[in-house]
Structure 1
């Protein structure tokens, strides 16, 4: 791996399904599952390198549960969620980043939306996507994603319009594609590693990632040491499975460079969407069908349910709720017209 101020970003190995000894199922111990998720931001001792390291095991496990994901779909969406968090956290308040993989593989499009406070949510068009394993026996995320376009949108309420960057999907393995985007569209000299590891029962054993960014005036000596550290470092899932913390992994990345003590930490989480705002959007969409269409659905189905694509939360609405909403909108329109 080469890290140079003018060089292309490189992604490290992204292991989705780690090698392990075959042991009796009753003896399997998941070390990382007992830890809380954390996203840690640190600076090297000379403030020349910024490092974000995340343990997002519980977050990806929740995404797997909510979306009922197959193994390869878990790895694909999990990496996208982790990558969005690394790219979106510790930025301007209320900023959001949205990444979309629009590939031609069986997974279909993959979407992840993260904010600067560590909240993330997303979806994959085909939760059952699970192509055959790669020749090395690992989950074939690249085949699930396929070729196509990666789009990244950064938005902020105070900005007149969002910034959008688009690049071709390089490998479909997610980390390499996001690293390629950072250098191609944002001219950020970075290295990025992502990983999702599953156990024998296809549950999430560990999931995490790291993002290394070279800051201005970084010395050549620092770049050489950092390159050596990253080239010899095991995958993020290997380190998490061994019980390493985010602080341990940060120190491993910055070995020989020192770590400033005033690091910042947040707890990443799989959002659910805000219930009040979500229900308001849902009933607005339902009301657009009209009273008669809603009545027909309730008569045929016995109920009217709406499910959010991102958090998979389902809510039921009665005919009366919809009618009241429509009548309230009509009354507001009439009142506005009279005042005008």
Structure 2
């Protein structure tokens, strides 16, 4: 009896076998990070990041399949890299309005490194390419701060999904 009770209280293999998202859970509890380096003369800045845990958490919270998760993850990486080094209160928002089955993507990154985002269709089969899932449309990037009278705004067409 003790062995059965211990197995029932343990959230290991039994839960993992019945939970299709268990493979994406952050078992090692490693934190996502952003790294930056500037050359000695200040002419070059390099930024790299890891967002696996944040993207996995979004996948689980929004019950997304892999293709929408990939699209949102890429959008959040872009936002995080753009937001690196800005003031904590500033935010960068990337909005993709397109005609593909994803029905749009929104990714928001703050100067604090906080990430938020969503896709229009969180459940989408992996039988199409990311380019076809996004489709044709426009991407808008907005950089804002609560104290600014108006945000910086840029819009361009989506070329390659």
TM-score, with normalisation over the residues of structure 2? Answer: 0.78
Question: 1:48-100 deviations in whole A, cap 9, x for unaligned?
Answer: 21011001111110011011111111100111111111111211331111110
Partner of 1:57: 52
Give the alignment partner of residue 156 of structure 1, picking from 145, 150, 155.
145
Question: 1:199-222 deviations in whole A, cap 9, x for unaligned?
Answer: xxxxxxxxxxxxxxxxxxxxxxxx
Structure 1: how far apart are the matches of 2:90 and 2:113? 11
Aligned-pair distance for 1:129? 2.2
Query: Secondary structure, in 3 states, of the residue corresponding to 2:85?
Result: coil
Question: 1:12-62 deviations in whole A, cap 9, x for unaligned?
Answer: xxxxxxxxxxxxxxxxxx9x9744211011112432210110011111100
The structure in which a higher percent of residues are helix is: 1
Question: 1:236-289 deviations in whole A, cap 9, x for unaligned?
Answer: xxxxxxxxxxxxxxxxxxxxxxxxxxxxxxxxxxxxxxxxxxxxxxxxxxxxxx
Residue pair 1:33, 1:57 contacting (<8 A) in 2 also: no
Structure 2: how far apart are the matches of 1:79 and 1:154? 18
Partner of 1:91: 86
User: Residues 50 and 103 (structure 1 numbering): CA distance in 2 closer, same or farther, change over 3 Å?
Assistant: same
Structure 2: how far apart are the matches of 1:68 and 1:85? 22
Question: 1:105-156 deviations in whole A, cap 9, x for unaligned?
Answer: 10001001111010010110100123525xxxxxx21111011000011111
Count of aligned pairs between the two proteins: 136
Name which structure has the greater RCO, CA cutoff 8 Å, separation 6+.
1
Query: Secondary structure, in 3 states, of the residue corresponding to 2:146?
Result: coil
Residue 73 of structure 2 corresponds to residue 78 of structure 1: yes
Give the number of the structure whose alpha-carbon radius of gyration is greater: 1
Structure 2: how far apart are the matches of 1:79 and 1:129? 16
The structure in which a higher percent of residues are strand is: 2
Partner of 2:134: 145
Query: Secondary structure, in 3 states, of the residue corresponding to 1:73?
Result: helix
Query: Secondary structure, in 3 states, of the residue corresponding to 2:96?
Result: strand
Partner of 1:165: 154
1:134-213 map, 5 Å = 140-172=129-161
1:19-30 map, 5 Å = none
Residue pair 2:66, 2:126 contacting (<8 A) in 1 also: no
Partner of 1:331: none
TM-score, with normalisation over the residues of structure 1? Answer: 0.38
The Cα RMSD (Å) is 1.8
Structure 1: how far apart are the matches of 2:68 and 2:47? 25
